[in-house]
Chains A and B, each alone.
Chain A
Amino acid sequence: MKQYDVAVIGAGVVGAMICRELSRFEVRTVLLERMDDVCMGASRANSSIVHAGFDCEPGTLKARLNVRGSELMERVADELGVPYVRNTSLVVGFSDEDKPKLEYLLDKGIRNGVRGLKLVTSDEARALEPGLSEEVRWALLAPTGAVICPYELTIAAVGNAMDNGVELRTGFEVRTIGKEGDLYTVSSGEDALQAKYVINCAGVYADAVAAMAGAGDFTITPRRGEYMLMDKECGKAVRATVFRTPTAMGKGILVTRTVDGNLLMGPTAENIGDKEDTSTTAQGLEKVFEQARRVLPAVSMRQVITSFAGLRAVGPTGDFIINQPKEGFINCAGIESPGLSSAPAIAEYVLEMLGQSGLALAEKDRYSPRRRPFNWFRNLTPEEKDEVIRKDPAYGRMVCRCEGITEGEIRDALTQNPRPRDLDGVKRRTRAGMGRCQGGFCSPVVIELLAGELGIPYECVTKSGKGSYLMTGRTKGGRRS
């Protein structure tokens, strides 16, 4: 059985960031993921906001890690080449009754150490965001609020960790965890390995994984959030992230520009029983639209390009559960919002815990925090692009016309850690298929590139992991010679 110093369970943003931190040191690390690709849980489908940190309860781990994470994120994004935009956040109130609620938020934010918070009038808010509804009376402005691409961040963090020596095993669903002496044995049934430390970053399944190790008897409830993504044309309607004044029911539906310039609206909040159920519902989508329109009256249903849902991993305490109930076994559980924002700080915190429990953290001679980004080509000037095409003609062949993604960029993603194995994997890495035609034109070409890279027949390429076959075979005359 192969032995490691640390086994990290779950390749979401939390597991990814922890692995990246660990990869700085002479530590043998393995990242275990049950799905066929990384970033298939909450880290893939969320609001993509790097929260400033004003709405967490002062004194909680959430508050501390959120504010610290928001400080770290810009640098992390830069090192990993992930799009990040500090677009400011606005919490808007529709009546004078909302004003004390906003003042309360302001006060919490100040106590949490959030910088630059300010309460502004409707005129000031609309001067910043002309698209805002006339109904808006007050707004809390948070200049440190930002947006990021959550899946690019997660994928890039895993890739960077792998480039620095971390091993990734996908399709490895942890089923049992045993301990002999000071070594944990982690097994999927088919495969097993040993590690001195185990870090549980299993998202909605963190309760099950903790239970396997006898390391906690909490439950994690999936709480679904549904979204609608709008065409880039309406991305211009707003620059900031606009929240409603929170109610007892939570933060409510927000509207934000994404780093790619689309408009994102959502999420709903609904506790459900099934930890796999990321389906959208008619009622949910209707609610998203109604509420978003109250903030930005100009949005129109005609501009929806897709809808999706994500599951928050809601723990019992309202705070993140980051503890070490057993020697060498660390839980990162209940990492609901603002888990994305906090992830770099969670990694810092977990490394401190590991150091304190005796893991030797000797820095590697050769470590690079930087990774060649996915999106380097699309950010070049026309002259620079021209030069790249002269060296590699694949960058002159357009594959995804809606997003402007070339064959060169797709080939680049196909050979970079962590390698994509299916259509959605390529989409998350390159944006090919994310535009207004949703892959109608480019997927036949992307399938071909994937088939070539994976060395499999065209009709065997999948959409998103095992079972998601795209084709059922060849046509009558379509046998390959």
Chain B
Amino acid sequence: MSLKTLKTDLAIIGGGPAGMSAAVAAYDAGVRNLLILERDGALGGILQQCIHNGFGLHRFGEELSGPEYAHRYEEMVRQRNIPFKLNTMVLDLTQDRRITATNSEDGVFYVDAGAVILAMGCRERPRGALNTPGTRPAGIYTAGTAQKLVNVKGCMPGRDVVILGSGDIGLIMARRMTLEGARVHAVCELMPYSGGLARNIEQCLHDFDIPLYLSTTVVGIKGRERLESVQIASVDENRRPIPSTIREIPCDTLLLSVGLIPENELTKSAGVPLDRTTQGAVVDQDRMTRVPGIFSCGNVLHVHDLVDYVSDEAAVAGRAAAAYLSGLEPGKEEIEIVPDGLVRYTVPQRLTRREQTRIFFRVGGIYRNVRIVVRDGEREIYSAKKLKVAPGEMESITLSKDVMRTLSGGRLEIGLEETP
């Protein structure tokens, strides 16, 4: 017996904000035969559990909650009658764009697609990855899992909480747990600065008098059945714990917000080369990967801090996929963008056409009074002053078409320099 095979022009893997926005943009650019595959029971991805507000300021000019933001996009998908399959898990993707997927209705089936947009999002780094020594009791959750338990299941993961990592989900959960009557004793951050948005530190910690300990980490975990306490310690410049600073905080819950990892297992199975820093695909200005016809956008490409940017980026990918399907030749140039280290990464990482291009990037530390500089060999082709840049906030610059035309080709260097 052979398996069912569907044919589609465009398959979008993931029905979160990235997948929906990409689908809508592709539809509006003329693609009619398209399909969204989503493993969850609803569209919306992680936004479904983000019941706090702060979404949509850029995109819609108003403050929405996560589910509201997702709902706006879901409406756009429905208005256009864009088909989607829920509870559908994609198991495999090949270089020639054959998808293997499974769900209860269709069994195991194939989708042969003219183009594929990857929009699978990311997952949280678990405790194991930190290698924190100690026992392995109940009461240790990633912040996102705790968020799901509280916001979706209506259950409290615990009462006395320590949070490791000051990423945005950790900050949001510090406030959420407090509002639910739990005591958040500390938020510990390994780095000398927080990885979260400044507004979240203000609204989620300061407003509730929750202490944020920078350059501090969890070095031990105690409790046999349920967590009883954690040991925290300050770290030196090399991020090694300083033994004399170890102290114990009794608690029944440890929430981890220690990083997000783009979920690129399918990307790898399709042979798409990844960027070591972003852990997402290497893409061009169209968000096309190095495998023709396979695009990537949203948190599976690189971790964003605002969903509004995810939607924008996905729309770029959606329109580009439509152009690709209509037979437009991909760009022929090969211009590599090389970050200087202070700038950790850029998206896109390469340019194949000389047109106006917006380049997103993140820096590796907090720097004040700097210039963002782009050089073409010795020649400075772009610069902009910044009072402050920080790892928690994504930055972007736009290179105009005129500037792009003047490039000698090959390679652009982007970096931070002191202001003269």
Residues of A that sit less than 8 Å from B by CB: 228-229, 276, 278-282, 284-285, 301-302, 304-308, 382-383, 385-387, 389-390, 393-394, 396-398, 401, 404, 436-441, 443-444, 458-459, 462-480
Contacts and interface: CB of A to CB of B under 8 A. Distances in A.
Nearest to A443: B145
Interface of B: 1-3, 39, 87, 89, 91, 100, 102-109, 123-124, 126-129, 131, 133-139, 141-142, 144-145, 148-150, 152-159, 180-181, 219, 221-222, 224-226, 252
A441 B123 contact: yes
B107 A386 contact: yes
B128 A306 contact: yes
Contacts of A468: 137-138, 225-226
A68 to B, nearest CB: 35
A280 B221 CA distance: 9
Nearest to A399: B89
Contacts of B89: 398, 401
A65 B22 CA distance: 62
A389 B104 contact: yes
8 contacts: A282-B133, A307-B128, A385-B102, A386-B1, A389-B108, A396-B105, A440-B141, A478-B155
Contacts of A462: 138
Contacts of B226: 467-469
A388 to B, nearest CB: 8
Contacts of A401: 39, 89
A437 B155 contact: no
A306 B91 CA distance: 24
Contacts of A385: 102, 107-108
A386 B3 contact: yes
Question: Which 9 pairs, one residue from A and one from B, show the smallest C-beta to C-beta distance?
Answer: A478-B154, A306-B128, A467-B225, A393-B104, A396-B104, A438-B126, A463-B138, A398-B89, A386-B107
Contacts of A476: 180-181
Contact of A386 (B108, B135, B154, B225): B108
A471 B145 contact: no
Contact of A281 (B128, B133, B137, B181): B133
A465 B154 contact: no
A472 B107 contact: no
A80 B390 CA distance: 56
B133 A396 contact: no
A443 B127 CA distance: 14
B103 A397 contact: yes
Contacts of A438: 126-128
Contacts of A439: 126, 145
Contact of A437 (B106, B126, B137): B126
Contact of B155 (A229, A302, A304, A459): A459
Contacts of A397: 87, 103-104
The CB with the most chain B CB atoms within 10 A, among A284, A386, A477, is that of A386
A473 B156 CA distance: 5
A393 B106 CA distance: 9
A45 to B, nearest CB: 10
The CB with the most chain A CB atoms within 10 A, among B89, B108, B157, B226, is that of B108
B124 A475 contact: no
A465 B134 CA distance: 19
A306 B140 CA distance: 13
Given A282-B219, A383-B1, A438-B126, 17 more contacts: A229-B128, A304-B131, A305-B128, A393-B104, A439-B126, A440-B141, A444-B149, A462-B138, A463-B225, A467-B226, A469-B226, A471-B156, A472-B159, A474-B155, A475-B154, A478-B154, A478-B155
Contact of B154 (A229, A301, A390, A474): A474
A429 B19 CA distance: 34
A240 to B, nearest CB: 25
Contacts of B91: 404
B131 A470 contact: no
B155 A458 contact: yes
A472 B135 CA distance: 20
Nearest to A392: B104
A168 B235 CA distance: 49
Nearest to B100: A382
Nearest to B182: A472
A462 B225 CA distance: 9
The CB with the most chain B CB atoms within 10 A, among A393, A438, A463, is that of A438
B129 A304 contact: yes
Given A467-B226, A468-B225, A469-B138, A305 B126 contact: yes
Contacts of B225: 463-469
A112 B107 CA distance: 52
B107 A279 contact: no
B108 A470 contact: no
Nearest to A462: B138
A479 B106 CA distance: 37
A95 B342 CA distance: 44
B42 to A, nearest CB: 14
A480 B155 CA distance: 10
Contacts of A393: 104-105
Given A276-B224, A383-B1, A396 B128 contact: no
A188 to B, nearest CB: 19
Nearest to B123: A437
Contacts of A436: 123, 126
Contacts of A387: 1, 107
A465 B137 CA distance: 11
Nearest to A307: B131
B417 to A, nearest CB: 31
A465 B136 CA distance: 13
Nearest to B157: A471
B325 to A, nearest CB: 27
The CB with the most chain A CB atoms within 10 A, among B91, B152, B154, is that of B154
Nearest to A301: B131
Given A301-B131, A463-B138, A464-B225, A471 B155 contact: yes
Contacts of B3: 382-383, 386
Given A440-B123, A467-B225, A475-B150, A228 B131 contact: yes
A385 B107 CA distance: 7
B149 A471 contact: yes
A464 B150 contact: no
Contacts of B127: 306, 438
B371 to A, nearest CB: 33
Given A387-B1, A389-B108, A472 B158 contact: yes
Nearest to B219: A282
Nearest to B124: A440
A408 to B, nearest CB: 10
Contacts of A464: 138, 225
B148 A444 contact: yes
Contacts of B149: 444, 471
B1 A475 contact: no
A480 B154 CA distance: 9
A441 B180 CA distance: 22
A301 B128 CA distance: 11
A382 B148 contact: no
A476 B104 CA distance: 35
A279 B135 contact: yes
A436 B123 CA distance: 9
